[in-house]
Amino acid sequence: MKDFTRRLDEIQRREFLAGIAKASLGVTILPSLIDAETAPGGHVKPKNPKAKNVIFVYMDGGMSHLDTFDPKTNSEVKGISTPIKTNAPGLQVSKLLPNIAKHGDKLAVLRTMAQKTGAHAQGKYLMHTSYAQRPGTSHPHLGSWAQYFLGRRNKTMPDSVLIGAGNPGPGFFPPDHAPFPLGDAAKGIRDLLPKIDKNVFSHRVRLAQKFSRVFEHHFPHDDVKAYAQFYDETVKFFDNKTVAAFDINKEPAKVRDLYGRSKFGNGLLLARRLIEHNVRYVEVKLGGWDGMHNGMATGEQRTGELDAPFAALLEDLQQRGLLKETMVVLTTEFGRTPKINQRGGRDHFPGAFSAVLAGGGINGGQAIGGTDEKGIKRTKGNKIGPADLHVTIAHALGLPLDERIHGSGGRPFFVGNRGKVIEQAFA
């Protein structure tokens, strides 16, 4: 009964704080950010960091490896794709990626990615957290892990941003470790700002802060303090400099054109801007890959949407001197069947798929591992799972891979879930 009462009190406190934010500030906090569990935190000195930032490019729905980064010549499986050379000797990609092919020297293509589940929800969760879903436990994504270990970089900017929101948040870390969700990069955050006079807004902020202090006094719990801090951080996002950082319209027309002005291209351009403004971790999503069930046209369309903007990101980062300190990761939840189905498309295939690494200390111009002529079985190299990919990114950031963190219920967790670093990927 006591546990039930305590839980009820906790829910009421959370709802109460959310109500204050909405009523007094004109701000609505997403429910996914209100359900975070808390854990003690501490900052560490990065251990031999190779990267300062991460841009995580996610192909939502299951990208086909055969039509992108592991193309084949076998007529039974090649579909609409055939291999073409890149500017790196021996490294090939699909003919549908002619722009990315010009940057092959920057890429480490992981061709032996694999995992156990072919279900979207479970696969996405695993790829974003390195942990399988478990009832009663919410695991953090990599941006939250980085903030936990390294601390906040910027007082007015979030430490991580999800462009095209909807993926795991802070997990068992405090709510101020949550990534900032943004649906449309072209709109920035102006549409999220309170539609009230600045003086009125400032007055409401002061009242809310006073009310919060009184509330904290009567309920001196860590979770209450954490949520109060979270709302304070939210208010800081309304700073003019922060708004400007999220505004891609400030970019020259030639740069906008380079990225292509598509929703995905806008997202990648915003990712670069945010990295320049000390945001450590940015995710950008390109969805719709699951349409490949119904034919190859979807794969051709999505690959075309990926090609030019992703190439632009690599070129832009390099020209600005940011690529060497920014790890770019491109991945998906699973691959697509080499065998073409009765509808002329490809189905879910977790047994083999590809991911790509670039920048942040990565040794480009190589394929790591390989599959057979049909893209089904691993023929060389080790199996690379989501945990291996995560721990490799964490290693590049200099995070402590062996430090045990206790979440809810006292269960131990590690960044990257004890995966193995892909040593071959680094120069």
CB 150 within 8 A of CB 132: no
Burial class from Cβ neighbours inside 10 Å (0-12, 13-18, 19+) for residue 323 reads buried
H-helix or E-strand spanning residue 379: strand 378-380
Distance, CA of 56 to CA of 140 (rounded, Å):
15
Residue 326 has pLDDT above 60, yes or no: yes
Q: Which residues contact 243 (CB under 8 A, 6 or more apart)?
A: 188, 189, 190, 193
Query: Could you tell me the CA-to-CA distances from 243 to 70, 143, 237 in Å, in that order?
Result: 40, 21, 7
Amino acid at 376: I
Mean pLDDT, to the nearest integer, of 167-173? 85
Q: Are residues 12 and 86 in the same domain?
A: no
Domain that holds residue 168: 43-193+252-425
**How many CB atoms neighbour CB 176 within 10 A?**
23
pLDDT at 104: 98
Residue 90: half-sphere exposure toward Cβ, Cα within 13 Å: 8
Better pLDDT: 25 or 175: 175
Q: How many domains does the chain have?
A: 2
Q: Which is it for the CA torsion 203, 207, 208, 209, positive or negative?
A: positive
Residue 406 backbone dihedrals phi, psi, to 5 degrees = -95, 120
Q: Are residues 138 and 31 in the same domain?
A: no
CB 262 within 8 A of CB 309: yes
Residue 216 has pLDDT above 70, yes or no: no
Q: Checking DSSP bridges between strand 107-113 and strand 180-182, what pairing results, if any?
A: unpaired
Mean pLDDT, to the nearest integer, of 230-245? 66
Q: Are residues 173 and 213 in the same domain?
A: no
Residue 11 has pLDDT above 60, yes or no: no
Q: Which of 213, 237, 261 corresponds to the end of one domain? A: 237
Q: Are residues 77 and 185 in the same domain?
A: yes
The gap from C-alpha 166 to its chain's centroid, in whole angstroms, comes to: 10
Between CA 152 and CA 261, with CA 263 as vertex, the angle to 5 degrees is: 105
Residue 371 lies in a domain: yes
Q: For residue 320, what is the domain's CATH number?
A: 3.40.720.10
Q: Are residues 81 and 213 in the same domain?
A: no
Distance, CA of 290 to CA of 333 (rounded, Å):
11
Mean pLDDT, to the nearest integer, of 387-408? 94
Q: Are residues 290 and 225 in the same domain?
A: no
The 3-state DSSP class for residue 412 equals strand
pLDDT at 231: 53
Residue 381 has pLDDT above 90, yes or no: yes
